[in-house]
Structure 1
Amino acid sequence: MTPSRLLRSALALGLLLAPLSARAAAPSPIASVDPFIGSDGHGHTFPGAVLPFGMAVLSPDTRTETWDGCSGYLYSDPAILGFSHTHLSGTGGGCLGDVMIMPTVGAVHFDAGKPGDGYMSRFSHQREAAQPGYYRVYLQDPKVTAELTATERCGFHRDTFPASNAAHFVIDLDHGIQNHASDSEVKIENSTTISGFRKSNGWGGDRIVFYVMQFSKPFDSVTLQKSGQTLPLGASEAMGGVVKASVNYHTKAGEAILVKVGISGVSVEGARRNLKTEIPAWNFKGVRSAAARAWSRVLDTAQVTTPDPHVRRTFYTNFYLSCIGPSLFNDVDGAYRGLDHRVHTHPKFQNYTAFSLWDTYRAEHPLLTLLQPARVDDMVNTLLTEYHQQASRTTPIWPLWENETWCMIGYHSVSVMADAYLKGFRGFDGEAAYQAMRDTAMQDRNGQDTYQTLGYVASTPGMQAASKTIEYAVDDWSIACMADALGHHDDAKMFYARAAHYVNLYDAGTGFLRGRKANGEWRPRFDAIGQINDEYTEADAWQYAFAVQQDVSGMIRMYGGDAAFANKLDALFAMSSKTRIIIPDITGLIGQYAQGDEQCHHIAYLYDYAGQPYKTQKWTREVMRREYQDTPAGECGNVDCGQMAAWYVFSALGFYPVNPSSGVYAIGSPGVDKAVLHLDAKKYGGRTFTVIAQNNSPKNVYIQSAIWNGKPYERAWITHRELTGGGVLRLVMGPKPNTRWGAAPSVRPPATMPAGFVYPKFPAPSVDKIAALTIPIHVACGSDDSIGDFVSDPNMLDGQQNRTDAAVETSVPNAAPVGVYQSERYGNDLAYQYRVPKGRYTVRLHFAEDFDKEAGQRLENIAVNGATVRKDFDILQSAGGTYKAIVLSFAGVRPGAAGAISIRVWAASGSPDQNAKINGIEILPE
C-alpha cells in the first residue's frame, strides 16, 4: 500500500483512531490492514466489506470470468460491473457473486456492456479506499460515490448521487462469478422493499440464495425485465429464468440513498429476519463502526512490533485474510441448508462453509485453534454434521454452501478434526468424529480402493496417484492418533501402517516418490520436473518429494539419513525453476520450491528435523522477504481461503505446524521483533505468549541462542500445550549461523511413529531404458497402455498425460480409435523424435479438445522436421467444437540428417492457454 492510499483508507473509514501523523510509529492492527493486498496477480482476494468469518461479503466485481477473476475483483481492471453480496477469498475456482446491485445515472441498461453503453463504470484507484469492514469508490460514469459495509449476514450500501431525474439501482440476478442464473425472482413488496431469490449452477454446484432489499427512499418506479423482455409498467413481480430490475429515482446533488440487503440460503423470510436482526436502523456509520470493532477484537489478539511499516502491513493483512473464512452459513435463528439440500433448523452450533481443506488443514485451521479457538468446535461440528448429510458417508472435501464440490485430493477434514480433539477441544462428540473419520478413510472413491489393497493408489495417466497416496497417508496418521486417544488401539495400528504407505512409492533408482501401476511396475518414463497434474497434483516430483509431513524422521531414513536429506533439500532450493508444464498454480518459485501452492509450505522447516535448523531460519526469512509484499500483487499465489496468509502469520511469529495435527511447531526465524499473543480467556485462561527476536534485522536472521521462561532453550520446536500455557520465548538473533543450536538429535522435533514401528520394504528400484518403436509407428500420446494398434511412447519426457471418459466424435477420415482422443499429452513445448529407415512417410497427427471451451483459448504451432506446418492452430475451431477429433496429414516426409522424423508441438505466443496438446502420432511408410 502506498502512503497516499493508506491515508485515503484511514480517512474513508473515519475510525475513532488518532491522526495518522500521531500513530505513524505504531498504527493499530486494524489501521495496518490493506485489503487490496492480494487483489492483483494470482492472489484472488477482494477489497470489499466482510466481518470476521462473515457469510455476507459485499464487494465490487470487475470481472466474472477468467482464472484471475475468481474473487470477482482484479486490481488491474479499469471498470466495475457492480457490487455483489457473496464472494470467495483467494480460491483457484470461481463461484458466488450473488445478488448484484449497481448504481447508475442516465438511460437504463440491463447489461454490463461497456462504460457509457451499459451499467459498468470506470473508476480510479485514486478515489478508492478500503479497510476491514468498509469499502468506498467513486464511479466515474454515473458520478456516484458508492460505500459498502456489512454485518455477518447482510450488506449495507450508501450511494451518493448527483442531481438527476434518471438515477437507478440496477439489480442483475444473472450476474455471477463464473456462473449464471438458472432461475430467479424479483418481487416488489412495497415502495421500499424488494425480495426474491437467485438459483445458479457452476463450480459450486446448484445453489440458491434468497434476499430482501430495503431502500431508504421510496421508489419513483421499478422496471422489471425477464429473459431479456421488459415487463409492462406497474408489474410487481418477475420470476423464472433470468430476471433483472431497475429501481428508479429523481435525486438531488449529494443525495445519499441507502440500501440494506439481507441474504439467506434458506428462505426470503430468513433473509428478512437476518436483516431485521442485524441492521434494524438506517445507521450506516454505526454498522461501519461495529464492523471495525469486530475486526479489532480479532486483530488485537496479536500485537507485533517491527520498525518496518511494510512488514507490519504485510503481517496484519495476512492475519486479516486468515480470518475471512471459513464463513458462517446459517440464519440468525440457526437455520441453514445442508449438503443434503434440506433445511436444518436451530442447531446447537454455528454452521460454516467454504472449507478449502486441501489448503487450509496445513496452517489456517491450526492458526484458528491458537487465535480463534471459540470457533473451532462449531467448525468441527459442521464437518461432522456434513458427514451425516452426504450419501457418500465421507467427511467433507471442499464443501461450499449446500454442495460438496469434491475439489482437490485427500480427506483432510480428518486432520482438522483430529487436530482439534488432540488439542483438547471437547465441544463435539469425539467418538462420533472418530467413526466418521474412519468411515471416510475406508471408502473406495478416488483411488482409495487400490490404496487399501495395494498400499498405494494405482497410477494411470492423469490419476495424480503419487500425490493421493502421499496425502492419504498424511490423513491416516491423524486418524491413528485419534484412535489411540480414544482407546481404539487395533485401529491405531492399522492407520499407522497406512501412514507409512508413502514408502511403497519410493524409487531408489530415481530418488523420488513416483507412481506405480496396479501390477507393481513403475510408470514409464520418470521426469522429476514433469508429470504435473498427471502423477502429481499441481506440482512435480520435487515439490512432492518432501510431502511426508506426518513422518519426517521416516522420510529422512528413506532418503539416506540427515546429510543426504539436507542435501536433497539444498538441491530443491538451488536448482532451476523450470518445469515442463506451465500452470498458474506453480508460483513463488525458489528453485523448485513453490510458495505459491500449498504442497511446499512446510518444506523450509524440515531442516529442523535433520539437525540444520539454521537453514530453516535462512529460507523461511527468504520466503517471507521474496514472496510477500504490501502491494496489490503482494501474495505470490492464491490466498486459498487463508492458507497462504496463515503461513506468513505463523512464520512471522517464528514457528510453524509442519505436521498439522501433531501439536508441535517447528521454530523458524521471526519476521517481527516482538509478538504478544493474547490467548482466549475461556479456552486458554487469558494467558499471553510472547516471542522476542532480540537484535532482529533483515541480516540478523540466524538464532544464536534461545531462552524460554528465563531458562536456556535448545529445542528447535515447541508444543501447542507449552505455547498456550503462556510464557516468553526470547531468540537472540545474529548475522551468521549458529550451527550447534537445535542441531543435536535430542533437541530435534520428535518422531511421530510408535516405538518399534516396522516400515514396509522399499520396492525394487526402476531401470529406465530407451525403447525402440517399429514401423509403422502408432503412438497414443496420452496413454501408458496400448489402444488398438496405438502404443505408449516409453521414451517421452516432455509434458504430462491426462485422460477423459467423455465421448469423442471420431467421424473424420483416418481417425484413430476413440481411446486415443480420450487421452492426451500436453505441455508448453512437446518434442518427439523417431528414428526410421530411409524413405518417404506420411505423418498423421491426431487432436481433440476436451479442456478449453471457446475458440482462441489454445493456439499452438506444429513443426515437422523443423519446418513449421501449422501456425496458431486452434484444435477446437478446426474440429468444429469440443470432443471432436481432427487429423492432420503430411505426406512425403523424409527422415532428417540424424535419420529421424521429428515432431514438435508448442504453445503459440499470445495463446491464453500456454500448454499445447496432442493425442496421437502416426508415421506410415508410403
Structure 2
Amino acid sequence: MNHLPLLLLPAAALAADLPAPAKYVDPMIGTAGHGHVFPGATAPFGMVQASPDTGLHGWDRCSGYHYDDTGIIGFSHTHLSGTGCGDLGNLMFMPMTGDIQWDPKPTGNDGGGLRPDSGARAMFNHENEHAETGYYSVKLDGSDIEVELTATERCAVHRYTFPKKGDAEVLIDLNHKVSPPGDAAFEAELEIKDPHTVVGWQKTDGWSNPKTFYFVAEFSEKITGQDFREGGETKDGKSISGKNIKGALHFDLDAGKPLVVKVGVSPVSIDGAKDNLKAEVGDKGFEEVRQGTVAKWNELLGKVTISDKDEAELRTFYTALYHTMVAPNVYNDHDRRWIGPDRKEHADPGFNYYSTFSLWDTFRAANPLYTLLVPEKVGEFTDAMLIHYENTGYHQLPVWTLCGNDTWCMIGYHSIPVIVDAYFKGLTDFNERKMLDAMVDSSNRREWNKEYREKGYAPSGDDGAQGTSRTLEYAFDDWCIARFAEAIGKKRIAHEYDERARNFRNVFDKDAGMMRGKDRNGDWLEPFKPTVVDFRAFTEANAWQYTWSVMQDVPALIELMGGPEAFVAKLDEMWTTEGVESHAPDVTGLIGQYAHGNEPSHHTAYLYDFAGQPWKTQKWIREISEKFYTDQPDGICGNEDCGQMSAWYVFSSLGIYPVNPASGVYMIGSPMFEKSSMKLGNGKTFTVIASGNSKENVYIQEAMLDGKPLDRTWITQKELSAGGTLAFRMGPEPNKEWGVGKTPPAFAY
C-alpha cells in the first residue's frame, strides 16, 4: 500500500476538544485508495449522511467522494459507506457567490468525467478540509466560502460563512445523484413556502430502484429572490416540478455572518420531513446539534476501551469501530412511518425499520459485533428483515437492501445467519414459525437456487453463473436454517437442511485439493487455473480464495484435504503463491493468493486454529492488521462494505473472531493491545489482557480465562457474555504446544 503523506491529513488539533474516544475518529481514513467511504457528518446508523460529492461516476466514487479529486460539486444528504456500487447523493446543496453556475461540463480528468473548474463545482485543498465525528468542514477555493456540516439521524444542518457582504446564493440541485453515467433523477419538485423555507422531493432510479427523498429546508436568513431551471430552461414562479430540476436561492448577507440551513429528510412525505426536523433539530443551533451527535457517537465508541499511547493506533482502531456503525441505516420517519419494498407507506410497526443491509459482507463479523455492542438494535434489524419479507411480492428475506428495495446484489441468503445468530443470543422477539417459513421460502425462491437443490450443487460456466461460490454460500446458510429448525422442534426441516449443508462436498476436487467449478453435466470445468478470477465458478474471487468457505464444518474440509498436515500445507501455499489473475477491482489486499480486500478471505487466517498450528493464525493476523489498516486516507485496503472490513479489524484487535458467525464460537488470534475492554449489552464487561504485547511479541505463550488455564484456541459466546478476563502472555517465538490437539465445537449454544 502506498501511504499518503501525513501532512495531507486533516489537522488533528481541530478534534482536540472532542471527548475521547470520539476525538480519535478520522472519517478521512478510507477516502483514498479503494475504501469508498465518505468523510461527511452522520449519526450512528442514521439515514442522513451530509457529505461533499467530488464525483458522480467511476468505481472509486461509489460514496460520491474520492481523496484524489480536486473539486467539490456540492453537498448532498445521502451516501453509501464503502460499497462497490454507487448510488444516493440525493438532495444536493451548494453555496456560491457571483453569477449562478448551473451545470458542470464533462470530459475532465477529475471527478468521474466532470471538469473540476466548471458548473457549480469549486476547487478545494485538503489543507482547508477537516472531518471528525459528526462534523465536516471545507473552505472553497475562489469564493473562500466556508462550509460546515453536521447531522442527526434524519436531518442535516449546514453552516455557510461568506467572506463578503452582498448577494449570495445556494443552489439546490434535484437532478444530482451518485450513479452510473446518465442515471440521474427522473422526477422532482421544488417550492418556496415562505421567505425562510423551501420544500421539495427527488425521485431517483439506480441501484436501488425507485426511491424518493422528501425534504424541508429552513434558512436562518430571508430568501430575497430565486431562479428556477428545468432541463436548462429558466422558469418563473415560486415552485417548479418535472425533470432536471434546479433552483438557486438568493440572500443578502453580511460578511462573516453564517447562513444556517436546517434540513429535514424523509422517505415518506414532506410532512414527515417537517416532523423529523422539528423532533431532531427544532430550535437547536449548529453547535448544539453537533455536540448531541458527538455524544451519541461517544457513547457507542466508548463501549470498547483500549490501552495504547500511540495515537496512530488509536485513530486506526476507533475509526474502524466508527465505520462499523455508519450502516445499516434507519429508513423511517421519527413517528416510524416507513416505505417498504412494495413502495407503499406503512404505519408504525412498533420498531424502527432499517435498510442498507450489505449482508454478503456483514454477516461475517459486523452483524455479530452488533450483537455484542448494540444488542438493543439487533432485534429491530431482524424485525425489519421479517417485515421486508412480508411486504414483498416474492417472499424473500433481504439479500442486499437499500432504501427499502432489494438490489439483489451478491449471492446467498445471508440475512439467515444474522437472524440465527441473534436468535441464539436471545436478542429477538419475532414469531419463530413465521421466521422459519421466511427462511425456507428465501432458500428456495431464488431461481439460481433451483439446480442447487436438484443436483446438490449450482452449476458453473461461461455464463458467469459463479456456481461454486453459490454452492458454498447456500450450504452455509442451509446449516443455519437447520440449527434454527432444530431449536424450535422442526426436526424434518432440520434434517433436510443439514443434508443441504453438506453440498460443499460436491464441488471439491480431491485431485486438485480445491473447490472447482462443475458444469450441468457434472464435469469439472476446464481449463482449471486456481489463480484466475473469471466469474465462471467464483464470485469476485478465485479457487484459492473460496476453497476455505466451509465455515460450518471446518473439520470436514480438513478431512477432504487429507488431514491436518495436508490442510496446513495448502494454507501455507496460499500465502506464497503469487499472481492473482483478475480484472475484478475488489480483489485487493493481497498476500500471495490471500485477498483481504474482499470478504471471502476474511476468516481464512483463523483456520490454522482448527488444524493444530494456531501460531500461524497468530502470525498472519498480526501481519494482515499491520499491513492493511492504518490511519492514512488510504488506510483501508479494499471496499469498507458497510462496516465489514472494519469489523474484522475490531474483532481481531481484541484477539477473537467469529469464523462461523452463527455458532456461538470465537476463534482466538493475536490481540493487538496490552489491554482492551468491551462493555456488553447485558451490563457485563469482557476484558482481554495481553502481557508483554508488542509488534514483535505476536505469539501466545499461555492463556488464562478468569484466572484458570485456557489451553484451547476458542472461547464461547456463553463465556464471553459472562464477562470476565481473557489473559495472554505474549512472546516473540511461537509456543507450539499451546492450544494444540483440541477441536472447536461446531455449535456452542
Band of TM-score, shorter chain: over 0.9
Task: Give the root-mean-square deviation of aligned CA atoms.
Answer: 1.6
Is residue 77 of structure 2 the alignment partner of residue 85 of structure 1? yes
Q: Secondary structure at the match of 2:690?
A: strand
Given that 1:657 and 1:666 are in contact with CA atoms closer than 8 Å, whether structure 2 keeps it comes out as: yes
TM-superposed CA distance for 1:6, in Å, is: 7.2
2:57 aligned with 1:65: yes
Query: Residue 163 of structure 1: CA displacement?
Result: 1.4
Q: Which residue of 2 aligns with 1:897?
A: none
Q: Which residue in 2 is equivalent to 1:608?
A: 609
The aligned counterpart of 2:723 is 726
TM norm structure 2: 0.96
Give the letter aligned to residue 220 of structure 1.
T
* 2: CA distance, partners of 1:117 / 1:616: 52
Contact 1:702 1:735 in 2 (8 A): yes
Q: CA deviation at 1:7?
A: 7.5
For 1:552 and 1:12, locate their aligned partners in 2 and report how far apart those are by CA, in whole Å. Answer: 45
- SS at 2:720's partner residue? helix
* Cross-structure match for 1:135: 136
Q: CA deviation digits over 1:477-526, x for unaligned, max 9?
A: 11011011111111111111111100011112222111212221222221
1:711 corresponds, among 708, 722, 728, to 708
8 Å contact from structure 2 (residues 328, 357) kept in 1: yes
Counterpart of 2:122, as a letter, is: S
* 1:145 counterpart residue number: 146
Question: Within 1, Cα distance between the matches of 2:538 and 2:244?
Answer: 41
> Residue 223 in 1 paired to residue 224 in 2?
no
- 2:321 aligns with 319
- What is residue 186 of structure 1 aligned with on the other side? 190
Aligned counterpart, 1:364: 366
Per-residue deviation, 1:251? 2.0
SS, match of residue 381 in structure 1:
helix
Alignment match, 2:686: 689
Residue identity matched to 1:515 = G
2:218 maps to 214
In structure 2, C-alpha distance between the alignment counterparts of 1:690 and 1:269, rounded to whole Å: 47
Contact 1:102/1:169 (CA < 8 Å) preserved in 2? yes
Residue type of the alignment partner of 1:84: S
**Cα pair 1:355 1:399 within 8 Å, conserved:** yes
Residue 451 of structure 1 corresponds to which residue in structure 2?
Answer: 452
CA distance in 2, matches of 1:602, 1:102: 43
Q: Hey, what does 2:469 align to over in structure 1?
A: 467
Residue 118 of structure 1 deviates from its aligned partner by 2.0
Report the AA paired with residue 203 of structure 1.
W
Q: CA deviation at 1:469?
A: 0.3
1:668 aligned onto 2:669: yes
CA distance in 2, matches of 1:700, 1:506: 38
User: Does structure 1 conserve the Cα–Cα contact (< 8 Å) formed by 2:396 and 2:438?
Assistant: yes
Distance 2:309 2:11 in 1: 22
Q: Partner residue of 1:168? A: 169
* Alignment-derived partner of residue 43 in structure 1: 35
The runs of 5 or more residues in structure 2 that have no matched partner are 106-114
Residue 245 of structure 2 corresponds to which residue in structure 1? 243
- Letter of the 2:258 partner, please give it: A
Q: Match for 1:332: what amino acid?
A: H
1:166: how far off? 2.9
Equivalent position to 2:407, from 405, 408, 431: 405
Closer, same or farther: CA 115–497 of 1 in aligned 2, 3 Å:
closer
Secondary structure of 1:244's counterpart equals strand
Look up the match of 1:850. none
Whole-Å separation in 2 of the counterparts to 1:753 and 1:48? 41
Structure 1 letter corresponding to 2:59: W
Aligned length: 733
How many angstroms apart in 1 are the aligned matches of 2:24 and 2:446? 48
Partner of 2:289, secondary structure, is helix
Show the 5 A alignment for 1:404-803. 404-446=406-448, 448-461=449-462, 462-576=464-578, 578-680=579-681, 684=682, 686-745=683-742, 748-751=743-746
Aligned partners of 1:537 and 1:436: how far apart in 2? 25
**Is the CA contact (8 Å cut-off) linking 1:335 and 1:346 kept in structure 2?**
yes
Inter-CA distance 732–309: structure 2 relative to 1 (3 Å threshold): same
SS in 1 for 2:184: strand
Asked if 2 retains the 8 angstrom alpha-carbon contact of 1:116 and 1:141, the reply is no
Q: Deviations over 1:292-351 (max 9, x none)?
A: 100000000000012332221111000000000001100001001001111111111111
Distance 2:267 2:343 in 1: 10
Distance in 2, matches of 1:669 and 1:9, equals: 30
CA distance in 2, matches of 1:11, 1:557: 56
Residues 562-611 of structure 1 show CA distances to partners (whole Å, capped at 9, x for unaligned) of 111011100011111x1232221000000100000000000000000001
Q: Classify the secondary structure of the residue corresponding to 1:550.
A: coil
Question: CA 1:5 to 1:430, structure 2 compared with 1: closer, same or farther past 3 Å?
Answer: farther
Contact 1:611 1:743 in 2 (8 A): yes
Identity of aligned residues (%): 45
Cα offset for 1:3? 7.3
Structure with bigger RCO (C-alpha 8 Å, 6+ apart): 2
Tell me if the contact between 1:10 and 1:31 (Cα under 8 Å) persists in the aligned partners.
Answer: no
The residue number in structure 2 matching 1:821 is: none
Counterpart selection for 1:110 from 91, 102, 105: 102
**CA shift digits 1:621-646 (9 cap, x unpaired):** 00000111110000000000000000
Q: Distance in 2 between matches of 1:174 and 1:12?
A: 35
Distance across 2 between alignment mates of 1:122 and 1:12: 24
Q: Deviations over 1:354-390 (max 9, x none)?
A: 0000000000100000111110000000011111111
CA distance in 2, matches of 1:423, 1:115: 51
Aligned partners of 1:159 and 1:257 also within 8 Å:
yes
Query: Take 1:624 and 1:289, find their aligned partners in 2: how far apart are those partners?
Result: 32
**Residue among 8, 11, 29 paired with 2:11:** 8
Q: Distance in 2 between matches of 1:667 and 1:432?
A: 36
Amino acid at match of 1:271: A
d(CA) in 2 for partners of 1:332, 1:588: 40
- The TM-score normalised by the length of structure 1 is 0.78
1:10–1:131 CA contact under 8 A, matched in 2: no
Deviates more, 1:730-739 or 1:245-254: 245-254
Q: Is 2:460–2:536's contact at 8 Å kept on the other side of the alignment? A: no
- Contact kept, 8 Å, 1:162 with 1:251, in 2: the verdict is no
Counterpart amino acid of residue 708 in structure 2: K
Distance in 2 (alpha carbons) for counterparts of 1:611 and 1:310: 34
| Alignment-mate amino acid for residue 270 of structure 1 | G
Q: Conserved in 2, the CA contact under 8 Å of 1:706 and 1:730? A: yes
Name the residue aligned to 1:873.
none
Partner amino acid, structure 2, of 1:105: T
> What code does the residue aligned with 2:730 have?
M
Q: CA deviation at 1:76?
A: 1.4
Matched residue of 2:168: which SS? Answer: strand
Q: Is the contact made by 1:212 and 1:272 (CA closer than 8 Å) also made in structure 2?
A: yes
The answer to whether structure 1 residue 262 and structure 2 residue 298 are counterparts is no
1:195 to 2:199 alignment? yes
- Given the alignment of the two structures, is residue 339 of structure 1 paired with residue 336 of structure 2, yes or no? no
Post-superposition offset of 1:422: 1.2
**In the aligned structure 1, how far is the partner of 2:222 from the partner of 2:12?**
32
Contact 2:530 2:544 in 1 (8 A): yes
Instruction: Answer with 1 or 2: which has the greater Rg.
Output: 1
Gaps of 5+ in 1: 18-27, 755-926
* Structure-2 separation of matches of 1:139 and 1:674: 43
**AA paired with 2:151?**
A
Query: What is the Cα deviation at residue 744 of structure 1?
Result: 1.4
Whether the 8 Å CA contact 2:533–2:580 is kept in 1: the answer is no
Structure 2: distance between partners of 1:49 and 1:162: 24
Local SS of the residue matching 1:652: helix
